[in-house]
Structure 1
Amino acid sequence: MKRLKFYSRLYIKMISQYIKARMQFRSDFYISTFAMLLLNITGLFTYWVLFYSINNIEGWNLNELIFLYSFALLAVTPMQLFFDNLWVIRISLRNGNFIKYYFKPINTLFYYVSEVFDIKGLGQLVLALTMLIYSSVKLGLHWTPLNIIMFVVFIFGSALIMISLALMAASVSFWVIESVSVLVLIFKLSEYARYPITIFNGFFRFIFTCIIPVAFIGYYPSRFFLKPDSVDMGVFATPFIGIGLFIIAYNIWRIGLNRYSGTGS
């Protein structure tokens, strides 16, 4: 418990300093936040275009798809907010700056990700919550205490899956310096979490469920709330998949840490 309090206080201090520094450039913050919101809204626009010509997609109507989209977006947001520094790990490794993370008596992953808090992700969080509330009202969903608890559990699991996939992709940089394409691939694949997995053929359903489980970021958890009469029991595996993937990802990270020895200069 003392260790948790220590890391919590340290994280708050580090992030507060980062936010103060970032807010010195307010124009950059406003522009980047607007760009992120526009990018996410563009994804919604695709739904509206599709529904001009069809009534549903594999039994999913427009408001159900908006719920699915917002759930997946909400699950990806913790990665955006707290782990955005993973995008530049290859640069730190290449120029030798990463070696500094070995010299502090704190967890290396914590130290590394704590240096950046992507505040423009707060705009993404607001958008996701707004769309979630809108679609819930349109669909007439009843948020019972059980549903609220399961929502929190599923979001936790889904967010952990996304974080784990990103961490594994970023850890490839310990072996292949120019590995940003792996991280880009993971984020591109995560976009499929916003669509019903039933629109894909059997091969891709298997990939998105068992190999790169992005279907558990949005589709399976959303079915619990939208289609409770036909919910797949596998949805309850979401938090366990998230925890299991994070354990694997963290161990890959640790193996990479142990092999890294700086630039040699």
Structure 2
Amino acid sequence: MKKKGLGFYLRIYFKILAQDIKSKMSYRADFIISTIGMIFTNIAGFVSFWIMFRSFPSINGWGYYEMLFLYGFSLVAITPVQCLFDNNWSLRIAVYTGDFIKYCFRPINIFFYYQSEVFDIKGLGQLAFGIGTLIYSWNKIGLGFTPLILLKMIVFLITASLVMIAMQNAAAATCFWIMNSFYVLDLVTRFKDYAKYPVTIFSPVFRFIFTFLMPIAFIAYYPSLVILRPDEVPLLSWLSPLIGVVFFWLSYKFWMRGALKYNGTGS
């Protein structure tokens, strides 16, 4: 069988995306309410920083606008997992009901086929809010701007996204082996809330956990230091693109291992 290339998958993806968006637009009230809810959730996070810094001028050397930068960075970084991989939340249901078997018979990559079926369009509101927060804090801090800085920003945001995607992929794929996999996925997702904080404000134990065991520090803290504090960039920051790619590849292999061994209800 002829191997299918990137062009083939892009054409298929945009066709599936168009159908999914049309389907969602038929329930406009649900879309509008969900989007408003997403926006207010992000506003609440913005306000929480404002309230916190009314009492404390800085937290362990981190000022208000630096914290906002991290917050905006994390929102942008987690947007791809929100928009493109939201179907992971339904994976356990498809596996337990046997509906997942349909993905095993199509002559295309199972992971691509399953993930491409859902695009969470309301995540674009989160993206806009995150970019706005980044621009606002960037101006307040007085960071410079050059084409090189923009390139670094794009590269480190993309690779930071891969870390969150990898964590969700791996957590969702546990449903191929364990019954109560929802709690694994829910736990991993809840941990992402800590990504908006600098890892240095936590105790040494949690710094280790958030760096090497549950690597949420690579969603915002380490990659953002390349832009935010260019004169004191640790080695882990420069390694974050490699770490993001490796983690995503490992999570993909783990997901596919479960999918390829799947044989119907009860597997």
Instruction: Settle same-fold status: TM greater than 0.5.
Output: yes
- TM-score calculated relative to the size of structure 1: 0.97
Q: How far, CA to CA, are the matches of 2:72 and 2:266 in structure 1?
A: 46
- The answer to whether the Cα contact below 8 Å between 2:96 and 2:266 also exists between their aligned partners in 1 is no
Q: How many residues are aligned here?
A: 265
Moved over 3 A (4+): none
Q: 2:179 aligns with which of 177, 180, 189?
A: 177
Q: 1:56 aligns with which of 55, 58, 65?
A: 58
Which residue of structure 1 lines up, in the alignment, with residue 111 of structure 2? 109
Q: Deviations over 1:57-95 (max 9, x none)?
A: 111111111110000110000000000000010110111
Q: CA deviation at 1:177?
A: 3.0
Which residue of structure 2 lines up, in the alignment, with residue 79 of structure 1? 81
Which residue of structure 2 lines up, in the alignment, with residue 136 of structure 1? 138
Q: CA deviation at 1:43?
A: 1.4
Q: How far, CA to CA, are the matches of 2:180 and 2:60 in structure 1?
A: 39
- TM-score calculated relative to the size of structure 2: 0.96
Aligned: 1:234 with 2:236: yes
1:1-265 paired onto structure 2 within 5 Å: 3-263=5-265
Percent of aligned pairs with the same amino acid:
48
Q: CA RMSD in A?
A: 1.4
- Distance of aligned partners of 1:260 and 1:56 in 2 relative to their CA distance in 1, 3 Å threshold: same
Q: CA deviation at 1:144?
A: 1.3
Q: Secondary structure at the match of 1:52?
A: helix
Letter matched to residue 58 of structure 1:
N
- The answer to whether the Cα contact below 8 Å between 1:93 and 1:177 also exists between their aligned partners in 2 is no
Q: How far, CA to CA, are the matches of 1:187 and 1:264 in structure 2?
A: 26
Q: Secondary structure at the match of 1:51?
A: helix
Stretches of structure 1 that go unaligned for 5 or more consecutive residues are none
Letter matched to residue 17 of structure 1:
Q
